[in-house]
Amino acid sequence: MKKFNTIFFTLLAALLFAACDNVDVDERLTYVEPPEVGRAVLIEDYTGQYCVNCPRATEEIERLVEQYGDSVVIAVAIHSGPFSKNKGELSPLYTEVGDNYFTKWGLSSQPVGLVDRLYGPMPFSYTDWGAGVNFEIANKAPVTFYTAIDYDAENRKAFIEVQTIGLDSATVSGKLQLWLLEDSIDSFQLMPDGSRVEHYNHMHVFRASVNDPWGDNVSVDHGQVALKNYEIVLDPAWVPEHCSVVTFLYDDKGVKQVVKNKFVN
């Protein structure tokens, strides 16, 4: 990947420069302790275009992002469930993968969501999301990620490299998950007053899972790196400049850390 190649050659140059000095071999390489990393929080917003109250959940996400920052609160709008269907017709933002998640967590009403999957299959109202975010950001992340994305515009293909770095004193294991999101999608939405807005601006919409929909096994010790590479071809309707990749690691106790990277800088 281009970003990591730049880092590699910079380090290589530094090592070659150091080799010119009369320095003992044991003194040339120094282990650097991985720094503590603040916790980012994943909000899975299970929503639908036919859900009249779902815009209220969107407003709560916007409030939390404004309060904590978009690198701390990372939301994913997963269009799924009964309010992504109308008389058997699926909404334009519906995905089968998202609907499988909806079923997996045993969801029924909307809007509803999960905050770092803290409560397993027990979702809670968007009015409680703020409390969940406040609780989670007090913790330190046991891992961090470096994600590099190379986009081939001619073939609409993205090459994604992820480094998962262990920060905890103990081994950290879980499922590594990558999701492709798209912002600024112009489509309809039913509103709380019962009206239908034809040109609603849909943000952080789940489009696809880059890897297996349930993630790949990853295990890292303190200071170690687990490397994964992925590819995905964009649907012709998706706008690359509006896309991003959300990377997170989770287990049956919740999400351990999450980051979001723009698709095209």
146 occurs within a structural domain: no
Q: Write down the pTM of the prediction.
A: 0.85
Cα gap 244→239, rounded to integer Å: 10
Cα gap 204→244, rounded to integer Å: 8
pLDDT by residue (tens digit) across 151-203? 999 999 999 999 999 999 999 999 999 999 999 999 999 999 999 999 999 99
> If you ran DSSP here, which 8-state letter would residue 34 be given?
P
252 occurs within a structural domain: yes
How many domains are there within the chain?
Answer: 1
159 occurs within a structural domain: no
- What residues make up the domain containing 119? 41-140+177-207+237-262
Measured CA to CA in angstroms, residue 36 lies from 31, 106, 150, 169 at distances of 15, 35, 28, 11
Please compute the mean of the pLDDT values over residues 91-112 and round it to a whole number. 93
Q: What CATH number is given to the structural domain containing 127?
A: 3.40.30
155 occurs within a structural domain: no
188 occurs within a structural domain: yes
162 occurs within a structural domain: no
209 pLDDT above the threshold of 90: yes
265 pLDDT above the threshold of 70: no
21 occurs within a structural domain: no
Residues 210, 232 contacting (CB under 8 angstroms): yes
119 occurs within a structural domain: yes
pLDDT by residue (tens digit) across 127-162? 989 989 999 999 999 999 999 999 999 999 999 999
